[in-house]
Structure 1
């Protein structure tokens, strides 16, 4: 997410959790810091993670919560990416994809960087 997208996320979080309400300047600084951590998470996935967090938790959400939940709420189109046929059909070299996953990268980020759109 970009700082602007994180600002949207934080604004929604503040509607659910008054502990996250901040003055505009502080919220902008917070969004910039969170964006550095959540750069490989889309706003759509971040919003789904936010909803999931507050369904199960009463503590304020943190960037680590979003990152941890992101894999759990990633759309099915990304979960299917472990199939080499699926990858090949979408123009992705399965060996390259697997090597990046083995190196610790997130599947959603790898797919995005390799040009697989979010609406596949």
Structure 2
């Protein structure tokens, strides 16, 4: 049972923009290597996938755990990428709506 409520830590403000917090490259590389090697092991050795005696613990530790860790460490980058993608998707829709509105209005100067 959790004693403290789950909350995200507040971002630390650094005086220099270059000093922003980012996950160390070695940690991301190690997790990516763990994920790739675990996926290869599960693909090459079907017995590692689990069964009645082993359960699903080995696939979790070989694939799911590093994936969760990678997503958690890169959550800032993921959020930024999603925001940029949403903006790119909205721009054509806004332009199309503006074109439609300008065509729908009748020209009053011709009367």
TM tier, smaller: under 0.3
TM-score normalised per structure 2: 0.26
Q: Larger Rg: 1 or 2? A: 2
